[in-house]
Amino acid sequence: MENNENQRQKAAASRFSIVQGDITTFAVDAIVNAANTSLLGGGGVDGAIHRAAGPELLEECRTLGGCATGQAKLTGGYRLPARFVLHTPGPVWNGGGDGEESLLKSCYESCLKLAADHGCKTVAFPSISTGIYGFPLEKAAPIAVGTILRFLEDHQDMEVQMVCFDGRTRNAYEEAFKDWG
């Protein structure tokens, strides 16, 4: 039994990677957008995704009626190389006493479930909430890595990439991945 569990963990880890780059260039089934609850665009990775996808993305987003923090909604990818965009509003960091950690975990879980429901095999995430929303990177990275790996253990046909925009972010995720298991 223990061997089986180890094998599942190893197999999950082999389908997870941490890369540095611009998520708008990734040709995967779905990229994740660190959005806000209006789903009507903003700065950071949200702005970059809307610019690269073109105005049709905003048109579709207008029909969605927003999204609660920790949940996710799916749209097409339009001019992006990705087929779908999974929009998830992360929590704004407010010191940690407002459920920020469980809301962040819920962002990753909601996106992965939505991706699986739409038959996506490859998903790329940005570092949700650690930019404009101020979630400390060292706290966010282990939550993201642990949640993704646990999901991959039960979804052996899926692969996930963590797309880090800068070296500091990449280091934090690599540290969290090293500490896992």
179 is catalytic: no
Q: Which of 22, 29, 46, 157 is catalytic?
A: 46
Binding residue for ligand AR6, selected from 132, 150, 153, 180, defined by CB under 6 A: 132
- Residue 5 CB partners (closer than 8 Å, separation 6+): none
DSSP 46-92: HHHHHHHH-HHHHHHHHTTT---TT--EEEE-TTSSSSEEEEEEPPP
Under the criterion CB under 6 A, does residue 35 sit at the interface with ligand AR6? yes
Query: How distant, in Å, are the alpha carbons of 74, 79, 134, 154 from that of 128?
Result: 16, 22, 10, 22
Q: Which stretch binds ligand AR6 (CB under 6 A): 2-10, 71-79, 151-159, 160-168?
A: 160-168
Q: Is residue 44 close enough to count as binding ligand AR6 by CB under 6 A?
A: yes
State the catalytic residues. 46
Query: Where along the sequence are the contacts to ligand AR6 (CB under 6 A)?
Result: 22-24, 34-36, 42-46, 48, 90, 126-133, 163, 165-166, 169
